[in-house]
Amino acid sequence: MIILTVTLLLLLCALYFDLRYQRIPNKLCLAGLLSAIALQGYNNQWLGLGQALLGGGAALAMLLPAFYFRCLGAGDVKLMIAVGALSGPVLLFWSVVYGIIFGTFTSFFLALYKVGWSGFFKMIRQSFIKKNSAVSSKKEKPSAVFVPYAPALVLGWLLACYLSPEINTNLIAFF
């Protein structure tokens, strides 16, 4: 139960920083990773340390390509490494899957909120519709809207926890 609480606090802090400053501090990610190793080692000894390393490694392996192709920022990847070390590889996998689903919708709505409908359609036209250079005399810079991905990752983790049978039974027994 303490691991879930620490993970939730870590994700909420990251959510605040990502929405407010559009970056997730390295110190927060490092504190999450170190607390994951300490908690997992204290609760489950060597097996817990193995789970923490396996979860962090799985997060790195899953999200490094997304960082390479500029789909995620480095802070998001480091955050999910800490979450993977806290949660383990199975819960991390489903968190990322659900996070991608939520990311589609949250990115759309946050971009729409930032630039409005006219700016959104302008961004789509500049990104996806090719213009004939003879017709267009001026060159327009392609525009991009950077949206924070922490809301999607938090929602994905919450849904993965809600749908996990072992976490549900532990929460029911706790309350």
* 30/27 Cα distance (integer angstroms): 5
* 1/7 Cα distance (integer angstroms): 10
Say how many Å lie between the first and final Cα of the chain, rounded.
11
Query: What is the reported pLDDT for 137?
Result: 47
Report pLDDT digits (tens) over 19-31: 899 899 999 999 9
Average pLDDT of every residue of the chain: 84
Report pLDDT digits (tens) over 122-163: 767 766 665 544 444 455 554 566 778 889 999 999 999 999
Looking at the structure of the chain, the number of domains it has is: 1
Asked whether the whole model's pTM tops 0.85, one would answer: no
CB 153 within 8 A of CB 95: yes
Query: What is the reported pLDDT for 133?
Result: 45
Q: Sign of dihedral through CA atoms 154, 155, 157, 158?
A: positive
User: Tokens for 20?
Assistant: 């407010």
User: Tokens for 35?
Assistant: 């607390």
The alpha-helical segments, DSSP class H, found in 22-163 are 26-68, 74-87, 89-128, 150-163
Report pLDDT digits (tens) over 73-108: 889 999 999 999 999 899 999 999 999 999 888 878
Q: Which domain holds residue 163?
A: 2-174
Query: What is the reported pLDDT for 144?
Result: 60
pLDDT band at 45 (very low <50, low <70, confident <90, very high): confident
pLDDT at 53 over 90: yes
Q: What percent of the chain has pLDDT over 90?
A: 46
Query: What is the reported pLDDT for 82?
Result: 95
Query: What is the reported pLDDT for 165?
Result: 84
